[in-house]
Amino acid sequence: MPTGPVALRAAARARLQPLPGGPFVLEGGFWGDRQRLVSECSLPHAWAALEQTGRLANASPASLAGEQPYSGDTYADSDVYKTLEALVWEHSRQPSAAVHRLLVETAAGLAAAQAPDGYLHSWFQRPDSPGRYTDLQMGHELYCAGHLLQAAIAERRTGADFGLMPIAVRLADHLVERFGDPALPYLCGHPLIEMALVELFRTTGTTDYLDLAARMIDGRGYGTLGPGLFGAQYYQDSQPVRAAESPAGHCVRALYLACGATDVYLETGDRTLLDAMVTQWDSLVANKTYLTGGVGCRRKDESFGAPFELPPDHAFAETCAGVALFMWGWRMLLATGHGRYADLMELLLFNLLPAGLSESGTEFSYVNTLHRRRDNPEFGDKRPRRQGWFRCPCCPPNLMRLVGSLGFYLATQDDGGVQLHQYVSGRFEAAVRGGTAALEVHTGYPHGDEVLVTVLDGPTSDWTLSLRVPAWCGQVTLTVAGQLWPMAPDGEGYLRVRRRWEAGTEVSLRLAMPARLTYPDARIDGVRGCVAVERGPVVFCLEQDDLDEVPLESVALDPAAPLEGTFGPVPSVHATGVATAAPRHGWPYLPAVSAVVAGASLQLSLKPYYAWGNRGDAAMRVWLPLCTARAAER
Ligand SMILES: [Zn+2]
């Protein structure tokens, strides 16, 4: 049976194990529909874009001979490899002769491009390049290698053979050979190779790969790479991994490194690494994460800001950083079993990540702002709206490979039973006492408040079904086999039902999700005096498209008025607001509080953040100013 992107060795120090019997199979619903959209629209769109922009030709003989222009920059191979990985996961669900042929042909091209010693990087193999390993800061050689390894790992895990794995093993063996000498520089300016090497160790059993990954983690933080354009912190080389108290520098780099460090802990049991990861995670969540799960606000170097530096209109919140944070959350969940990691994964799953994909499936976001103004300054390729493709198209295929493998990130098992962490419709199997249990989940989540779990098949035996109660949920009702089951979540955030299960037993979990107002920590200057609307795990936003003539920037929300939701095909939360008066001409500062509340009340219709921007380029904001009079009362 297919196993997922993370398949722990038997000796791994994990509290929880990924499902061994194949993925959770999504069936319709919020993510099942998106998985189909990616399959039918996004992946063909991405492959066409890779062809049209010349990415696929970079590894051709003519390109390697320098006889044609190069497409993109030193990261360009990774665009292809991530798309290959997405196609491999997709092919495992829906085999297709055309995709099979495409994968085999592409793998054959890569095998032909690979140097006799196993090296593979289409930019540095060209005669006009400065040569291998001459630019570890920004050369992306090991980063690209990591993505190739991950595509090959997906191939192996899904039981397929397109020819990728032999290329990956030769490349990894080359890396072990080349960087086996501790006296030589052995860091890549863009982490990722660490997690890929651990996974290749998990796949092949070759301990050299794990050892190299561990050395790369241990070797970081001593300035080996030099200051570069943005300083050593940019690529996590300013502080040893165990000494850093918060992820710092370029967000995607930092979070992939955290994945690798957590993976090394899981396989070696080096507790100091896990302790550092817990500290860094807690710091990240406490003061560097946007309400939507996004991270990063510094555009110049795509990095985290200082603690509580979370301006909504300058949120960078790259889709790739959301993917990386999701992947790190999964590893922390496996390591610790604590629901707070699954909570943040849920936040990403229903806010930042789906916002990265248009309803058409052919537009993607790089930047995920929380406030787009009507007169929004554009930032070139990285403008805060979805686009068909990018000069640096890192995000679209990254999202696609995650969506393709999403079924592996939703549930786990341990010796005592089964844990369901995310609520999507579908079915899965897990090993329980006495055999294999097949379970079905049916839910309208994230807008429907009931999750129905049915044991379809399996032995009649005692085991524990654990259901996560999200941190946002204050009232939960559990029914087991028609009986109310009074129970509160344990310290890890789960309801744990231990009983004798048999086929046909139904469990109903109701998570009360009234629309609610969320106030920001007073230390976040960018949203002081504002409020956000949430319902269940979903963050809502207000778009200019729903305001008729009133400018979005003039709207304030009345926190005393009730919130009402409608959750049909277009979910909305209705709130009440007012249009604030313009103060004085040309002077953006307001007179005394009492004079501010102007005009008649407005009925506001807020839509899910994940759906914003599907009606054009309109303005949007998540954080709404409070009516000033009301704010003064607070
Ligand atoms: Zn990206």
pLDDT digits (tens, 9 = 90+) for 452-497: 999 999 999 999 999 999 999 999 999 999 999 999 999 999 999 9
pLDDT for 553 beyond 60: yes
Q: How far apart are CA 555 and CA 603, in angstroms?
A: 10
pLDDT digits (tens, 9 = 90+) for 587-603: 777 655 444 455 668 99
| Residue 452: strand pairing partners | 442, 508
pLDDT for 168 beyond 50: yes
Percentage of the chain with pLDDT > 90?
88
Q: How far is the CA of 235 from the centre of ligand 1 (A)?
A: 16
Q: How far is the CA of 420 from the centre of ligand 1 (A)?
A: 29
pLDDT for 584 beyond 70: no
pLDDT for 634 beyond 90: no
Residue-level pLDDT at 595: 41
Residue-level pLDDT at 628: 67
pLDDT digits (tens, 9 = 90+) for 215-237: 999 999 999 999 999 999 999 99
Q: How far is the CA of 432 from the centre of ligand 1 (A)?
A: 39
**Does the CA dihedral 60-66-67-68 come out positive or negative?**
positive
Among 264-268, 364-368, 382-386, 558-562, which stretch is predicted with the lowest mean pLDDT? 382-386
Average of per-residue pLDDT across 609-626: 93
DSSP 489: -
Buried b (16+ CB within 10 A) or exposed e, 547-556: beebebbbbb
Residue-level pLDDT at 582: 64
Residue-level pLDDT at 599: 65
Q: How far is the CA of 83 from the centre of ligand 1 (A)?
A: 13
Peptide bond into 446 cis (omega under 30): yes
Q: How far is the CA of 388 from the centre of ligand 1 (A)?
A: 14
Residue-level pLDDT at 379: 65
Q: How far is the CA of 317 from the centre of ligand 1 (A)?
A: 10
Q: How far apart are CA 622 and CA 624, in angstroms?
A: 6
Assign 390 to helix, strand or coil. coil
pLDDT for 214 beyond 70: yes
pLDDT for 573 beyond 70: yes
Residue-level pLDDT at 633: 47
Nearest to 116 by CA among 66, 164, 76, 174: 174
pLDDT band at 571 (very low <50, low <70, confident <90, very high): very high
Q: How far apart are CA 499 and CA 518, in angstroms?
A: 38
Residue-level pLDDT at 382: 77
Q: How far is the CA of 77 from the centre of ligand 1 (A)?
A: 14
Q: How far apart are CA 358 and CA 42, in angstroms?
A: 10
Q: How far is the CA of 322 from the centre of ligand 1 (A)?
A: 9
Tokens of 510: 């109701």
Alpha-carbon dihedral angle through residues 215, 221, 225, 230, given to the nearest 10 degrees: 140
Among 210-219, 469-478, 625-634, which stretch is predicted with the lowest mean pLDDT? 625-634
Q: How far is the CA of 78 from the centre of ligand 1 (A)?
A: 11
Q: How far apart are CA 496 and CA 480, in angstroms?
A: 11
- Helices of type H across 269-380: 271-287, 319-336, 339-347, 353-355
Q: How far is the CA of 105 from the centre of ligand 1 (A)?
A: 26
Q: How far is the CA of 353 from the centre of ligand 1 (A)?
A: 12
Average of per-residue pLDDT across 101-109: 98
Q: How far is the CA of 494 from the centre of ligand 1 (A)?
A: 33
Q: How far is the CA of 143 from the centre of ligand 1 (A)?
A: 13
Q: How far is the CA of 485 from the centre of ligand 1 (A)?
A: 44
Q: How far apart are CA 48 and CA 249, in angstroms?
A: 33
Nearest to 508 by CA among 529, 479, 483, 541: 479
Residue, of 264 and 553, whose pLDDT is higher: 264
Mean pLDDT of the chain: 94
Q: How far is the CA of 280 from the centre of ligand 1 (A)?
A: 22
Q: How far is the CA of 399 from the centre of ligand 1 (A)?
A: 9
pLDDT digits (tens, 9 = 90+) for 497-539: 999 999 999 999 999 999 999 999 999 999 999 999 999 999 9
Average of per-residue pLDDT across 315-331: 98
Q: How far is the CA of 321 from the centre of ligand 1 (A)?
A: 7
Q: How far is the CA of 324 from the centre of ligand 1 (A)?
A: 10
Q: How far is the CA of 318 from the centre of ligand 1 (A)?
A: 6
Residue-level pLDDT at 395: 98
Q: How far is the CA of 241 from the centre of ligand 1 (A)?
A: 23
Residue-level pLDDT at 632: 45
Q: How far is the CA of 113 from the centre of ligand 1 (A)?
A: 26
Q: How far is the CA of 323 from the centre of ligand 1 (A)?
A: 9
